[in-house]
Amino acid sequence: MCSHPSTSRIASTIGTFCRVKQECISCDFQRIWSSQPFIKNVSAGNLLLSAAILMSGSSVTNSLCLFSHLKMVAICRKTLIEHQKMYLLPSIRQVWRNHQEKAITNLKEDESVVLGGDGRADSPGHSAKYGSYTMMDLKLNKIIEIQIVQYCSYHMEKEGLIRAVNFLKENNIEISTLVMDRHCQIKKWVRENLPDTKHKFDLWHIAKGVSKKLVAKLVSGKDVKPWIHSISNHLYWCATSTVDGDGKMMLAKWKSVGQHIQNIHTGHGDVFGDPLPYNLHLKSEL
CA distance 278 to 53: 68
% of the chain exceeding 90 in pLDDT = 31
Q: In the 8-state DSSP scheme, what is residue 266?
A: S
Domain spans of the chain, in order of start: 1-35, 42-109, 112-201, 203-286
The whole-number pLDDT of residue 278 equals 36
The pLDDT of residue 219 is 58
Average pLDDT value over all residues in the chain: 83
| Better-predicted residue by pLDDT, 194 or 279 | 194
Residues 222-248: what's their mean pLDDT? Answer: 81
The pLDDT, as a whole number, for residue 53 is 94
Please tell me the predicted confidence (pLDDT) of residue 276. Answer: 43
Backbone angles phi, psi at 4, to 5 degrees: -90, 160
As a whole number, mean pLDDT of residues 205-231 equals 77
Phi, psi dihedrals of residue 42, rounded to the nearest 5°: -120, 130
| pLDDT score of 163 | 92
Query: Span 78-87, mean pLDDT?
Result: 93
When pLDDT is averaged across residues 175-199 and rounded to a whole number, the result is 88
pLDDT-based confidence at 239, cuts 50/70/90?
A: confident
Judged by average pLDDT, the poorest of 91-95, 138-142, 227-231 is 227-231
**Is the CB of residue 210 less than 8 Å from the CB of residue 231?**
yes
- Are 226 and 286 within 8 A, CB to CB? yes
CB 209 within 8 Å of CB 182: yes
> Which amino acid would we find at residue 233?
N
Q: At residue 207, does pLDDT exceed 70?
A: yes
* All residues at 6 or more sequence positions from 250 whose CB lies less than 8 Å from its CB, including other chains: 238, 239, 242, 244
Q: Which DSSP symbol is given to 126?
A: -
Poorest-confidence range of 175-179, 264-268, 275-279? 275-279
Question: Is the pLDDT at 97 greater than 90, yes or no?
Answer: yes
Least confident interval from 47-61, 116-130, 204-218, 233-247: 116-130
State the sign of the Cα–Cα–Cα–Cα dihedral 86, 87, 92, 98: positive
Across 99-109, average pLDDT:
90
**DSSP conformation letters of 65-90:** HHHHHTT-----HHHHHHHIIIIIHH
Q: Which fold has domain 112-201?
A: Nucleotidyltransferase; domain 5 (3.30.420)
Beta carbons of 133 and 150 less than 8 angstroms apart: no
Residue 156: band (very low, low, confident or very high) from pLDDT cuts 50, 70, 90? confident
Q: Residue type at 238? A: C
Q: What are the beta bridge partners of residue 20? A: 10, 33
Predicted confidence at residue 170, as pLDDT, reads 92
| 13 C-beta neighbours (distance < 10 Å), count | 12
At 226, the pLDDT band (50, 70, 90 cuts) reads confident
Does position 279 have pLDDT exceeding 70, yes or no? no
3-state secondary structure of 117: strand
Across the range 190-208, mean pLDDT stands at 88
pLDDT score, position 90: 95
Q: Mean pLDDT, to the nearest integer, of 144-173?
A: 86
